[in-house]
Structures are given as structure tokens and as C-alpha cells.
Structure 1
Amino acid sequence: MREGGRTFLGHPWGLATLFCTEMWERFSWYGLRAILATFMAASPAHQGLGLSQETSQAVVGIYGALIYLVALPGGWIADRILGARRSVFWGGFVIMLGHISLAIPVTSPFFVWLGLLLIITGTGLLKPNISVMVGRLYPDEDDGRRDAGFSLFYLGVNLGAFFAPIVVGHLAAGDRWHLGFSVAAIGMALGLIQYVWGGRALRGVGERPGLRLSRGERHRLGRLVTLGVALTALALGAWAATGTLTVDRFTVAITVVILIVPVVCFCFILLGGHGLSEDERVRMRAYIWLFVAAAVFWMIYDLAPSKLLFFAADHTDLSLAGIPIQAATTQAFNPLFIMVFVPVFATLWVRLGTRVSTPQKFAFALVVIGLSFVVMAVAAALAGPGRVSVWWLVAVYLIQVFGELALSPVGLSVTTKLAPEAYKGQMLGVWFISVSVGDAVGGQTGRLGRVLSEPAYYLLLAAVAVVAGLALFAFARRLRAMMAEHHEPLMR
């Protein structure tokens, strides 16, 4: 849908509304992410939860995993019940309530767990549906402007991600964790205010669900949700009654559930009677390889807000060019490098065309993320019980961004390409499950620290990624054939 008259950098003015909403939502998300692990690991004397670093890492991993997993039901709720526009509003509102819950200055952890649950729920409603609304601002045939519009939209994502760790990290310093959480709540509130204020510019985009549930379907859904909540509460109550329910064990149970989800998804797609052609089945089998590769990548990449944050706090000299910084500020390096190098990689992929296949790009990403942890191993060995320059982390994040830009946008693209016709609208949700799996497993790797030294921990994960990357390189030609990607000769 075009916006007549007023424009935003040549695009429909509604893009400005969605740009700012996403920027503030990401500000709140990355602000919390930058201090959550250190808050959980801080002792009660320092206003924290007093969890071990390993348990804190597992919680942050599960938190990130569930954020991506709930995008699936969040998209369905918009399509069948609320519509994208109301889903974004109510999602943002629930996220704001979650940050407010975290900001309540009490010693009980109840409000912390409630806040995280609310943020997970709200993000599931907001995150997938705001992107849908961006796409609907443009006519179907206006692919060029839509792509450019998404580029601007993702600039908003990274602006929020860049400033949040700096602002929230500074305000939360000195054990003022709840002040940091309050700033994240204010960020989401600002996003909601301008979303409502700029709603007229959206011109009806996302107001109605695509296929509203019938009355009978709503009743069945209500019964199913009630049953699911009751069974979950009963199971947790029974577990708690045994005296064996702990935060640590709960994260393990959730990780197992998350690992089961993609197995069920792929079995359902490949083994069910959904009218898939033989070519579609072959492409989906190739896609499973890419899915596993992506999960390995995210397993390492998304240790930034936990393992690498702890390293920043405990083993680096937090000073950049003589300017003191907070450990949380190191979380701003990644979005900064993304904003710098996105145009470079976009140009590179256009120039290379099909001469470099998707499996080769994924393999490159795995090797690069592995090499970043080789650098981390060296930094950890040099630090020992002391500290090293924070520039080691700058180098690690720079290397990792090269891997991300080779995998993340390419993964979104290849997912839409390989999706069977019957699952065109659902496969992006399956792609995000790879992030969920990686985050959940990565969170559990902290337990390795009980039996491995710090350098050995990083080297082990590096070896897993590099071996997976080399295996993907070895099978790249076969996978390319299964995917029906056409090779473009080097010389024309």
C-alpha cells in the first residue's frame, strides 16, 4: 500500500512509524540483554540474584531461545485472531509490563521471572508481525522499494541495538540494575507512544486478521489453551513437590523440549501427506543440513550476552582509547560493525552472483565463527586470572560479524527459496527455530567450564564450528545439486 504525499526518505510515511517502533523495541531488548547475565550472577549483596555464571548463561540462552520460538504462535495469532497491527501494539504493551516487573526494586526473584515471561510473550506477538507490516506498505509488484524499505527498517534495529548497551549499561553501573531495567521499560513505552501517534500513516495495514477464527474454532482453541496451561502447571507443581525443581534443571528440561521441536517439524513436513513433490522433498533434505549448520553458528554467536559478557566484566581492562566503559558497552560492538559492513557484504554478494553457493557461504560462516573463538582462547590464556585489553573483544566481534553477514541474510533468503509450496508462509518460522536451538544449546555449554579451563572451553567450541564448516565445504557440491542452485562460471 502506497502512502500518498508525505514520505520517509522516499518511502511510505508508515515506514517511519514502524522504523521508530522497532528501534525502541530493540533498544529495550538489547538494553536488558546487555545486563541480564551479570545481574543474575551478581550476589544479593550487590542487588543480584546470586546465581552461578553457568546457570546465568543457561537462563540467558533459554530466554533468547524462547524469544525466537514464540514467533511461530505469535504470527498465527495475528493471522487468525488479532491482526498484525493490534498484535504489535499488545506485544509492545506486554513487553513494557515485563520491563516494569524487572524494574521493581525488591529482593524476591518472582518479579524477575514474571518480567522475563512477559517479555517473551510480548516479543512473540510484536517481532514477526511488525516485519509483516513493513512488507505490506508496498504493492506486491514493488519489490525494489520493498527491499530498500527493509534495509532502512533494519537500520532502526541496529541503531536501537547500538545505543541500548551504552545507555542501559551506564545507568545500571554500581549495582543499579533496576534503574537499567527502568530505562528499557521507558524505551518500549516511547515506542508504543509513537506507534499509536503515527498509526494513521499505516493506512489500515494489518488491521484485520488474514483468516479470522470461526466461533467454533475459538471455543476449541480456548479449551486447548486452558488444557495446556493446566497440564503445564500440574507438571511443574508435581516437579516442585519432589524438591528437585531448580532453575538449573528447568533450563535443561526446556532445552530438551526445544531440541524436539525441529525434529517434529521436519518429520511432519517430510513424512506427512502434504502433497510435496519429489524435488521439494530433496530440497528439504538439503535444507536440514543448512538448519543444523545455522544452529551450530548461533550456538557460538549468541554467547555474546553471557559468556563473552562475563569475560568482559572479569578479564578485560574496560577502557577504550583511555575512556572507561562498562562491561555492557561491549555489546554495542556487534551492531556497530553490522551497520558498517552490511553495505559491503550486500555489494559482495551481488558481484559474486551464483559463483559462491549457499552451502559455501554457510561453511564460511562456521569457519569464521570458529576462528573468533580461537582468538577468544588466546585472550583467555593471556588473561589467566588477570585482565587483557578490551580490544581483544573488539577483534572477536569484528570477526563474528563477517560470519553473521555470510549466514543470517542468506539463510532468510534460502529458506524462502527452498520452502515447499504448502509451507511458504511458515518456513521463516522454521528458520528462526535454528536460532532457538543454537541459543538453548549454547546456554548449556557453560557447564563445560566445570571440567575445562577457559581457553580449552573456547577451543572446543571453535573446533566444533570449524569441523562443521569443513564438512559443509566437502558436501557443498552435492548440496548445491540437491538445492538446484545453478553454478555460474568464473570466466564469462
Structure 2
Amino acid sequence: MSAFDKKKIYESVPQKGFFGHPKGLLTLFFTEFWERFSYYGMRAILVYYMYYEVSKGGLGIDEPTALAIMSIYGSLVYMSGIIGGWLADRVFGTSKGVFYGGILIMLGHIALAIPGNITLFFVSMVLIVLGTGLLKPNVSSVVGEIYSEEDNRRDSGFSIFYMSINLGGFLSPLIVGGVMKYSFHLGFGIAAVGMFLGLLVFIFTKKKNLGLAGAIVHNPLSPDEKKKVFTRFGLAAVVIAVLIAIAIPNGLLTFDSFIALVGILGILLPTAYFIVMYRSKKTNDVERSRIIAYIPLFIASVMFWAIQEQGSTILASYADKRTQLEFAGITISPAWFQSLNPLFIIVLAPVFAWLWVKLGKRQPTIPQKFSLALLFSGISFLVILLPAYFGGSDSLVNPLWLVLSYFIVVLGELCLSPVGLSATTKLAPAAFSAQTMSLWFLSSAAAQAINAQIVKFYTPATEMTYFGVIGGASIVLAIILFALAPKIQGFMKGIQ
């Protein structure tokens, strides 16, 4: 994006109107709120829907397979952001990416809401994966466009935006998890309604509040490029379809081989992206230095999300099978624990946003904040191994242990996620702005691709080792990153 385009977009957005922030933040806040309401509501019950018996309304998939599918699903959701970011940068802009993505997500939830079979389940997965890839990175990129690069409100604005994600994530598991005992499909239907409301907010407020933000295609394809690119895409789609048609009947494409393939892609795709951006003629020397600085931040993000995202897999199963669900006279739905993470963020996000503004130039640097995030995530896993240490792996665990673990990892998330979103918009090469945001979400894709490989090692018997090894690795990486923080900061070339 040229400096002229950035200035033109910034000037087109009303700069006051939402708690002292640009008015466009209101549109993006509520669009993202409803999209996350739909996604996290669906996700809160999806793993149970997969491994619960058919007699209980589930699909009857064995639990290890269900946990692996859940991780692969999450990985593909974020991996598809590559497609969404590229299409936004080069074809139709971020605003249309948000709209088209919302349509696909809504259709995916509708497919889940229809009582049927495993086929509809996989159809819904494809729709939600593609839809989230279009919407998720692009709505975050638009947030970056409504602020100037020098605007001190930027980090605070991303923290407020991040709170919208968690407000939706807090309410939906409570509502959808509450109806889970009656019908999984009713819960998925509620998720579909949530995405529909998000689309209405976006459609009816974007023109007035967003100005040109999201409307400009920053690196458009030329007519010749369009012809070549879409011809290649078409040929690639045909080749992939033929290979799948041959591989499945011959036993070459199995669930295990698919997990391995996604794991490889989770590593190769971000590596390829870093290489392409670094070597591009459209990237200048300052931007190349910033790409170098971004690499250790990306690796730290992978480690963090590998722990945080197990809240919907390993810890979801832990809540269902290892936790005492009769507490203080209340019967707890295991899905309700999915509300803990966003609840703590809702409470603490304003505190962190205020803290960064209050500290100003005295606040920790971006690499130092990331190292703190890794420290907290590691401690959160060490905490959850303590019940097995004190009481063994056979007794049910007091739910407050899970509450404490979720609380600690949230402290890390607030040091990493909103800060990472903001840092991505500042460190991104101009020609790859939306695609760099897609790269940020690839850290979660890589983390969950890795998780799909390691969740099979979790059993009640290996519980302490599992949590201890992963938690310890996060703490060691935190120490290394903190030591390298000054060097990384130097490569950022003035970005704070």
C-alpha cells in the first residue's frame, strides 16, 4: 500500500465516535463479535458432537480421532487465511473478503444444523474453513487501515477489537453449551443466526463508518496476470480432484496420512511466505529487516497457540471426563469451560490496554511481551498437572484447577495476541499487507497442525508427562526470546 493510499484511506474514516477511536471500529467490533459468537459457539460443542455416541445425538467417532480432527479443523481454518489474504490484496479487497467469508460461514453452520450424517459434517467443515479464511485476516487488516501508523491509539484500538472477539467467545459457549443436552443441531443453528447478524451489521454500517478502508485493492492483478493465475488455479483444482479420486479408493489418502500432510503444510506454508516476501522486488531493505524481526515472533506465537488452542481439545476432554461437574449445587456443562478464556480477557483486556497507554515508551518491547506470553502459557500447563500429582489420575478434579489454568494462559494471550495483530500491521511489507495478516494466523494453523500429531500421546496415565514437557518447553523458549529481545528490536527499524 502506498503512503498516498494510506493517507487517503485514513482521511476518509471518521476519526471520532467509538470511545475516542475511529467510528469504523464500531462496525468492525460488532461484525467480529457476531462472527466469533458463531465460531466459538460451534467449536464449544463440536468435539463432543464428534465423540458422543449416536444414541446421545453425536457422530460416534472415537475420541482420539475426534481430538485430532478438531486440531486439523482449527489448523485448516487459519491456513485458509492465505487464500483470503491473497484474494483481498490482489482481486477484490478486504471489505468484500469479509462479506463473502461471512456468507460461507453462515452456510457452514446451517449445514451442521441439519440433522444428517457424516457427509454434512465434512461439507460444513469445508464451508467454514474457506469462509473464515476470507473473513478473519481481512477484518483485522481493515482495523489497521483506519489508523495512521503514528497514531498512539493503535495498540489500544486492537485491544478493544480483540475484546469483541472474546465477548462473542464468552457468550456463545454458555448459550450453545446450555442447549447441547437437548440437541447439538439446535446449538449449531444458533451459531448460524449469529453469523447472519454479523453480516447485517457489516452491510448496513460499513459505508458510513469505514470510508475507503477495505475498499482499495492494494496490489491488483493485471489483466494478463488474472488470466494466468485463474488458469493455473483451475488446473490445480482439477489435478487435486483427480489425485483424491485415485488416492482414497487405493488407501493412499487415509486420515493418518491427511493429518501428516496438514502438519507438513503447517510448517512449509509460512516458510514459503517468509521467503517470497523477503525476496520480492516489491519489498525494500527496511521491510526486509522487519521480516527478519518477525520470524522469531512467529515461532513464539506457534509455541503459545500450541498450548492455548488445546483448550478446545485436550482441556475440553479433561473438562468432560476428568473434572467434577457437580459443583456448589450446580451441574456444569463441560462446554461452559470454553467461556473462561474470553471471560478473563473481557475483564483484563481494558486493564492491559490502559497499562500499555499509561507506560507509553516505558512499556516492554514487542519481543519482551511475547516472551512473557510464553512464560505464562508454560505455567498454565504446569498448573494443570498438579491435580494428577496430588490426587492421581483416577479421581475427578476440582473445576477450580481448570479455572486457574485458563486464567494464567489469558495473561499470556493479552501479552501476545492483540500486540501481535498490531505488530503485524506495522511490520508488514506494503505489497503484502493483507497476506502478512494471513501469515500471522498461520502461526495458529501451524500450532494446531502440530497438536494434531501430539494429542494422541495424551492419556490419563501420561497426563503429568504430557503437560510437563509441553509447559517446560514453553518456559525455556520464553527465556531464549527474552535474551534475544534487544537484537530483534534492532531489526524492527524504528517500530515500537
Give SS of 2:60's match: coil
Q: Deviations over 1:326-373 (max 9, x none)?
A: 111101111111111123223444427456443333222222211111
Residue of structure 1 aligned with 2:316, choices 309, 324, 347: 309
Question: For the Cα contact (< 8 Å) 1:319–1:390, is it kept in 2?
Answer: no
Are the equivalent residues in 2 in contact too, given 1:300–1:369 (CA < 8 A)? yes
Name the counterpart of 1:473. 482
1:189 aligns with 2:199: no
1:231 aligns with 2:228: no
Where does residue 341 of structure 2 map in the other structure? 334
Per the alignment, residue 125 of structure 1 pairs with: 134
Contact 1:318/1:390, CA 8 A, preserved across alignment: yes
Out of 256, 266, 280, which is 1:258 matched to?
A: 266
Identical-residue share of aligned pairs (%): 40
1:390-405 to 2 correspondence within 5 Å? 390-405=399-414
2:88 partner SS: helix
Q: 1:248 aligns with which of 244, 249, 256?
A: 256
Residue 57 of structure 1: which of 67, 75, 83 is its match?
67
For 1:156, which of 155, 164, 188 is the aligned residue? 164
* C-alpha separation in 2, matches of 1:4 and 1:291: 33
Question: Please, which of 97, 101, 104 is the counterpart of residue 114 of structure 2?
Answer: 104
Q: Does structure 1 residue 218 correspond to structure 2 residue 226?
A: yes
Moved more, 364-373 or 109-118: 364-373
Q: Is the 8 A contact 2:75 2:445 kept in 1?
A: yes
Deviation string 1:256-294 (CA, Å, 9 cap, x unpaired) is: 1121112222333445666653x7655544432222121
User: C-alpha distance in 2, partners of 1:167/1:349?
Assistant: 33
Cα displacement string for residues 18-44 of structure 1 (whole angstroms, at most 9, x for unaligned residues): 332221111001101111112112222
| Matching residue of 1:75 | 85
Shift of 1:165: 0.5
Describe the SS at the equivalent of 2:394.
coil
**Does 2:55 correspond to 1:48?**
no
User: Per the alignment, do residues 117 and 375 of structure 1 end up closer, same or farther by CA in structure 2, a change over 3 Å counting?
Assistant: same
Classify the secondary structure of the residue corresponding to 1:51. Answer: coil
CA distance in 2 between counterparts of 1:357 and 1:198 reads 36
RMSD: 3.1
Q: 1:435 aligns with which of 435, 444, 462?
A: 444
SS at match of 2:58: coil
Contact conserved, 2:393 with 2:460, CA < 8 A, in 1? no
* Range 45-54 or range 474-483, more displaced: 474-483
TM-score by length of 1: 0.88
* Cα deviation digits, residues 217-240 of structure 1 (max 9, x gap): 333232122112112212222220
Code of the residue aligned with 2:135 in structure 1: it is L
Q: Aligned partner of 1:378: which letter?
A: L
2:208 maps to 201
8 Å Cα contact 1:137-1:202 kept in structure 2: no
| Contact 2:30-2:201 at 8 Å conserved across structures | yes
1:463 is matched with which residue: 461, 472, 492?
472
> Does 1:343 pair with 2:353?
no
What does residue 408 of structure 1 align with? Answer: 417
1:379 aligned residue = 387
Matches of 2:320 and 2:421, distance apart in 1: 34
1:173 has 2:164 as partner? no
Given that residues 34 and 165 in structure 1 are in contact (C-alpha distance below 8 angstroms), is that contact kept between their aligned partners in structure 2?
A: yes
Aligned twin of 1:39: 49
**Paired AA for residue 29 in structure 1:** Y
User: CA–CA distance in 2 between the matches of 1:44 and 1:271?
Assistant: 52
| Deviation by residue 1:200-233 (Cα, 9 ceiling, x = unmatched) | 5346544454455444333323212211211221
Deviations 1:123-142 (A, max 9, x none): 1222222234445556x489
Aligned match of 1:490 = none
Distance 1:273 1:10, change over 3 A: closer
2:340 maps to amino acid: F
Distance (whole Å) between structure 1 residues aligned to residue 112 and residue 328 of structure 2: 34
The corresponding residue for 2:462 is: 453
In the alignment, the residues of structure 2 paired with residue 360 and residue 11 of structure 1 have an alpha-carbon distance, to the nearest angstrom, of 27
Deviation of residue 116 (structure 1)? 1.1
Return the letter of the residue paired with 1:114. V
Residue 105 of structure 1, CA deviation: 0.5
Cα deviations by residue, 1:143-195 (Å, 9 ceiling, x for unpaired): 35666554443332221111001001111125x21111111111112222333
Report the CA distance shift for 1:168/1:84 in structure 2 as closer, same or farther (over 3 A).
same
8 Å Cα contact 1:57-1:444 kept in structure 2: no
- In 2, Cα distance between equivalents of 1:486 and 1:117: 38
| Partner AA of 2:28 in structure 1 | L
- Whole-Å Cα distance in 2 between the matches of residues 225 and 395 of structure 1? 47
1:384 is aligned with what amino acid?
S
1:121 CA drift (Å): 0.8
CA contact (8 A) 1:84 1:133 kept: yes
Unaligned residue ranges in structure 1 (runs of 5+) = 488-492
**C-alpha separation between the residues in 2 aligned to 1:119 and 1:357?**
36
Structure-to-structure mapping, 1:357-372, within 5 angstroms: 357-372=365-380
Indicate the residue corresponding to 2:297 in structure 1.
290
What are the ranges of 5 or more consecutive residues in structure 2 without an aligned counterpart?
Answer: 1-10
CA distance in 2, matches of 1:210, 1:399: 40
Residues 129-144 of structure 1: pairs in structure 2 closer than 5 A: 129-136=138-145, 140=148, 143-144=151-152
